[in-house]
Structure 1
Amino acid sequence: MQTPKKHPTQIVQLSSMANYRHHENQGSNGQKQAEVVVVMVPFPAQGHLNQLLHLSRLILSYNIPVHYATSSIHNRQAMLRLHGCDPSSVSNIHFHDFVIPPFVSPPPNPNAPNKFPSHLQPLFDASLHLRQPVGALLRELSSKARRVVVINDSMMAYVVQDVVAIPNAESYTFHSVSAFALFLYLWEAMGKEVPSLEADGGKNNNIPKDLPSLESCFTNEFLDFIAFHCDFQKLSSGRLYNTCRIIEGPYLDLMEKIRGDKKHWALGPFNPVRIPEKKISSNIGRHKCLDWLHKQAPNSVIYVSFGTTTTMEEEQIKELAIGLEQSEQKFIWVLRDADKGDVFNGEVRKAAVPKGFEERVKERGIVVRDWAPQLEILSHPSTGAFMSHCGWNSCMESITMGVPIAAWPMASDQPRNAVLIAQLLKVGIVVKEWSHLDQIVTSRSVENGLKMLMASREGDVIRKRAADLGGAVRRSLDRGGVSCMELDSFIAHITRP
């Protein structure tokens, strides 16, 4: 296999890996045998696909072969939406296009009382059928490599269960949520009592007193889906996170205390953290919103996007539009419906904005209705804030680029991530409190939140704190940095003799 090019924006120090030897051994049949191969098994939703694809890039930079195994639809989706990096950095990944049974792919319901993307459940159920082809791939690779290392999304644990029957294979569970959110789930499941943490009966100063409830975060059907995978997660050899100890050190320590039976590695940030200037300034294939962004003053634009699983009702879209207009702040607003299970099949709803809105704000704002290059937008010097649903992928991208967040959680782990961002890290504000989840966010609330973050002394302090945290996270990837050392540690572990 051709040695992959190292991505210039992601500094990974190979010199510290003196104990790692990348070569091939002669097998008993005289054929060359690879030392170690890695197999990624992502969960088929955009934020999950994206994270493991970026982790694949990082592992490739250590000259370790990587296989990315999912359905043909979702391989195509992952690659089409890859952004922020040189495409050549993933050119040597082995993509395996597996077939899953046909599944219903309905459009999202903008008026559903629960914002969790329940319309994707048929896809999630169909993904369980990947067990057979993934198992066959692992057995095939095990005959050609000294060790097969499986990195699977926590919600694909059932699919990779056959790894325990392969003597030279081992698996590692990737948690796509923050360590903070995951710890809280486990802590609550344990009755909020973990006596080994503190002498005062399990209390800890890093645990907020008033946590958002889990009401409406998930559907019952998806909670059952999560529970189904939990028993199979016990078969893994360790846990991986897209975070770093600079961001979530206390919660990684807590996870290690209550789940000390396995090794934990914080390998993030997975996404590129230094976007080459030529990437955002080149006219070749550049998104139109970057052309507009180039013309704006530094830190003057708020980026508004609610991820790939959110669909807003018309009334809320109207209030958001009015709030953006009345705030008099510059903005890029990505207004898209949630992804369907098959993003390539069928029409997508074009949500309406108030009549004349785009004409009135054309000098200081644009509405984007297609896929937007989020990393390039967040890394641009003109971007000053990010109004976000607080999905963990978006949180990590915003933190690493030093951009503060106006938190507007919708479902899943997002309400707890909003607490981490605004209350604990203090690199953002909350636009929608989870206790008011059934209420429309008014245009006045939007206006006031944006003005506070973008045009106030308090906002300046928050943005300075976000910039400082982002700088620290980026430096953690340099030689001797905590994230670089953590990734080195994981690679040394999986390539051990």
Structure 2
Amino acid sequence: MKDTGQSCRPERLHKTARPCQESESTMEPGRRVVLYAGLGVGHLTPMVELAKLFLCRGLAVIIAVPTRPGPASVASLAAANPSVSFHLLPPPPYPDPDPSQFVRMLDTFRLCAPSLLALLRSLPSVAALVVDMFCAHAVDVAAALNVPAYIYWTSSARAFASFLHLPYYYSKTASSLGDMGKALLHFPGVPPIAASDMPSTEQDREGRAYKARTALYARVAQATGVLLNTFEWLEARAVKALREGACVPDRPTPPVYCVGPLVAAGTSEAGESERHACLAWLDAQPDRSVVFLCFGSVGAFSVTQLKEIARGLETSGHRFLWVVRSPLQDPSKFIEPRPEPDLEELLPDGFLKRTRERGLVVSSWAPQAEVLHHGATGAFVTHCGWNSALEGVTVGVPLLCWPQYAEQRLNKVLIVEEMKVGVVMQGYDEELVSAEEVEAKVRLVMESEEGKRLRERLAVAREKAADALMDGGPSRLAFDQFLKDLGRSK
């Protein structure tokens, strides 16, 4: 992917992994892989990063996206990656007038299967079909053409382990997770997780969302293998449980390959004039002095919560770079388009003026990877999406966890309690995170001995992440093994 910023202080990362290693392919020349992507930046971006690995091994790549023309995320990724072919699969008319957004999304991926089948049949030689977990029904398409099908899981191995095992957990109780409150759940290879920290789509065992997810997880056994966007050192317990079949005890688990962390590089050859203005602002800040607040591609807060964040940042006394989006008009439709935020209206009176010497508020978007790689960034307030968590780990920046939706609460548990590279913003699961809590956690990470210990652990994790991606490192060797196994699967 072509990046849109410039690495400002390359000495921050003393070890740099090469993006790939040319190696002799075990497959016929001219073969290609088709990647069937889920929607949303959190699914599309790691799919593009995976595509780059295939390209480096001499394989052509097509990313099939189940959507009509129009999404800016798809268009920007296609423009930035000319070596990758993007193919849109327009879905047929949707028959259900009133499903949840999540159920409708999964149904859309399933309804695009005939178009995906037609695409594969039109290609002269397909080595494999790699599908996003949310598109797992497409293993049937691969089976119809005798093409190996692999699932690409773009979140943590621990999340994958817990989701696969949840049907077996439910088989031993009559309750739904939504009735269990903060009761601790125990899954193979995963630390204890409060029931309330599991995704909302899994809280009601009789709900359409849970049944749709369960149907997807059941397809894992039919895949030829599973690619995980993680590195084994970071999630050794969960990976071991998956490989041993402990998560799905009554059927075989396909081979598991840890090929990550596949994240945006955070560097670019773009000229100074093309850099986002926030990067120039960071250039003028001291090393590791800035708290970066960014909440993913769709994260948003109420006006009341925005004002609390502003108060907490102001009273903390620390430098900050904050990405602010307009609040959602309908919280149930978190993917809806939103207007540019009116910062003067959303934030406390005089806040921007009072903090202009040490803070910068950016409307809607900032180049997250470039910001995290910048030497001035000292902490990351994040929604705990897995891409963001991996980006924070790979650059050694402590994480202040503020989960919002999907599996982010579960990732929060892993980041804080097992990986021990972050702290929690208390109140995320209640009505409001107070200004006092924002101030306290910013000061803890930026000033205290606990913050120092977080950085020490992150320095080790950063080193291990870089090692994993080096030539001959565990993740590169895992991808090579995957290609060898793929070459033997036909």
**TM-score for the superposition, normalised by structure 1:** 0.81
**CA distance in 2 between partners of 1:309 and 1:391 (Å):** 11
- The superposition leaves residues 254-274 of structure 1 with CA deviations (integer Å, 9 ceiling, x where unpaired) of 11122553100111111145x
Equivalent position to 1:474, from 466, 472, 486: 466
Query: Which residue type is aligned with residue 294 of structure 2?
Result: S
Give 2:259's aligned residue.
267
SS in 2 for 1:452: helix
Q: Which moved more, 1:226-235 or 1:321-330?
A: 226-235
Equivalent position to 1:132, from 97, 101, 114: 114
Q: Shift of residue 388 of structure 1?
A: 0.6
Which aligned pairs between 1:328-347 and structure 2 lie closer than 5 A? 328-337=317-326, 347=339
Note closer, same or farther for the CA distance 1:215–1:51 as it changes in structure 2 (3 Å cut).
closer
Query: Which residue type is aligned with residue 310 of structure 1?
Result: G
- The superposition leaves residues 275-314 of structure 1 with CA deviations (integer Å, 9 ceiling, x where unpaired) of 44755xx413211111111111111111101112322112
SS in 1 for 2:169: coil
Give 1:241's aligned residue.
228
Instruction: Answer yes or no: is 1:92 the counterpart of 2:83.
Output: yes
Give 2:391's aligned residue.
397
Structure 1 unaligned blocks of 5 or more: 1-7, 25-33, 105-116, 195-201
Q: Shift of residue 13 of structure 1?
A: 5.3
SS in 1 for 2:148: strand
SS in 1 for 2:158: helix
Q: Shift of residue 449 of structure 1?
A: 0.2
**CA distance in 2 between partners of 1:152 and 1:216 (Å):** 21
Kept after mapping to 1: 8 A contact 2:43/2:154:
yes
Which aligned pairs between 1:381-396 and structure 2 lie closer than 5 A? 381-396=375-390
Kept after mapping to 2: 8 A contact 1:478/1:484:
yes
Q: Shift of residue 439 of structure 1?
A: 3.0
Q: Shift of residue 383 of structure 1?
A: 0.6
SS in 1 for 2:159: helix
Equivalent position to 1:162, from 134, 138, 141: 141
Give 2:158's aligned residue.
180
**CA distance in 2 between partners of 1:9 and 1:73 (Å):** 37
Q: Shift of residue 120 of structure 1?
A: 6.0
Query: Which residue type is aligned with residue 244 of structure 1?
Result: F
**CA distance in 1 between partners of 2:53 and 2:274 (Å):** 25
Equivalent position to 2:76, from 63, 67, 80: 80
SS in 1 for 2:200: coil
Instruction: Answer yes or no: is 1:58 the counterpart of 2:82.
Output: no
Kept after mapping to 2: 8 A contact 1:322/1:443:
yes
Give 1:11's aligned residue.
18
Equivalent position to 1:49, from 39, 44, 57: 44
Kept after mapping to 2: 8 A contact 1:403/1:466:
yes
Kept after mapping to 2: 8 A contact 1:453/1:460:
yes
Instruction: Answer yes or no: is 1:251 the counterpart of 2:238.
Output: yes
Equivalent position to 2:297, from 305, 308, 317: 308
SS in 2 for 1:191: helix
**CA distance in 2 between partners of 1:276 and 1:216 (Å):** 33
Note closer, same or farther for the CA distance 1:221–1:328 as it changes in structure 2 (3 Å cut).
farther
**CA distance in 2 between partners of 1:127 and 1:416 (Å):** 25
- The superposition leaves residues 78-115 of structure 1 with CA deviations (integer Å, 9 ceiling, x where unpaired) of 35268xxx94xx321111122224779xxxxxxxxxxx
Kept after mapping to 2: 8 A contact 1:378/1:397:
yes
Give 1:295's aligned residue.
284
Kept after mapping to 2: 8 A contact 1:135/1:160:
no
Query: Which residue type is aligned with residue 38 of structure 1?
Result: V
Note closer, same or farther for the CA distance 1:189–1:379 as it changes in structure 2 (3 Å cut).
same
Note closer, same or farther for the CA distance 1:157–1:384 as it changes in structure 2 (3 Å cut).
same
Give 1:199's aligned residue.
none
SS in 1 for 2:239: helix
SS in 1 for 2:201: coil
Kept after mapping to 2: 8 A contact 1:72/1:96:
no
Query: Which residue type is aligned with residue 11 of structure 1?
Result: R
**CA distance in 1 between partners of 2:389 and 2:308 (Å):** 24
Note closer, same or farther for the CA distance 1:385–1:366 as it changes in structure 2 (3 Å cut).
same
SS in 1 for 2:463: helix
Query: Which residue type is aligned with residue 128 of structure 1?
Result: R
Aligned length: 445
Kept after mapping to 1: 8 A contact 2:161/2:187:
no
Kept after mapping to 2: 8 A contact 1:103/1:123:
no
Instruction: Answer yes or no: is 1:217 the counterpart of 2:204.
Output: no
Instruction: Answer yes or no: is 1:440 the counterpart of 2:407.
Output: no
Query: Which residue type is aligned with residue 447 of structure 1?
Result: E
Give 2:178's aligned residue.
none
Kept after mapping to 2: 8 A contact 1:131/1:160:
no
Q: Which moved more, 1:128-137 or 1:257-266?
A: 257-266
Q: Shift of residue 215 of structure 1?
A: 6.1
For the aligned residue pairs, the C-alpha RMSD in angstroms reads 3.3
Q: Which moved more, 1:411-420 or 1:346-355?
A: 346-355
Equivalent position to 1:353, from 344, 347, 350: 347
**CA distance in 2 between partners of 1:346 and 1:414 (Å):** 22
Note closer, same or farther for the CA distance 1:432–1:182 as it changes in structure 2 (3 Å cut).
farther
Note closer, same or farther for the CA distance 1:312–1:102 as it changes in structure 2 (3 Å cut).
farther
Equivalent position to 1:486, from 452, 458, 478: 478
Note closer, same or farther for the CA distance 1:191–1:119 as it changes in structure 2 (3 Å cut).
closer
Q: Shift of residue 457 of structure 1?
A: 1.8
Query: Which residue type is aligned with residue 330 of structure 1?
Result: R
Kept after mapping to 1: 8 A contact 2:230/2:258:
yes
**TM-score for the superposition, normalised by structure 2:** 0.82
**CA distance in 1 between partners of 2:445 and 2:350 (Å):** 26
**CA distance in 1 between partners of 2:48 and 2:339 (Å):** 27
Give 1:363's aligned residue.
357
Instruction: Answer yes or no: is 1:457 the counterpart of 2:449.
Output: yes
- The superposition leaves residues 14-61 of structure 1 with CA deviations (integer Å, 9 ceiling, x where unpaired) of 46x44x25653xxxxxxxxx3x31111111122111111111112111
Note closer, same or farther for the CA distance 1:345–1:301 as it changes in structure 2 (3 Å cut).
closer
Note closer, same or farther for the CA distance 1:337–1:255 as it changes in structure 2 (3 Å cut).
farther
Give 2:35's aligned residue.
40
Note closer, same or farther for the CA distance 1:425–1:93 as it changes in structure 2 (3 Å cut).
same
SS in 1 for 2:237: helix
Kept after mapping to 2: 8 A contact 1:44/1:127:
no
Note closer, same or farther for the CA distance 1:133–1:9 as it changes in structure 2 (3 Å cut).
farther
Structure 2 unaligned blocks of 5 or more: 1-14, 173-184
Note closer, same or farther for the CA distance 1:79–1:483 as it changes in structure 2 (3 Å cut).
farther
Give 1:197's aligned residue.
none
- The superposition leaves residues 406-429 of structure 1 with CA deviations (integer Å, 9 ceiling, x where unpaired) of 011112211121111111111111
Give 2:177's aligned residue.
none
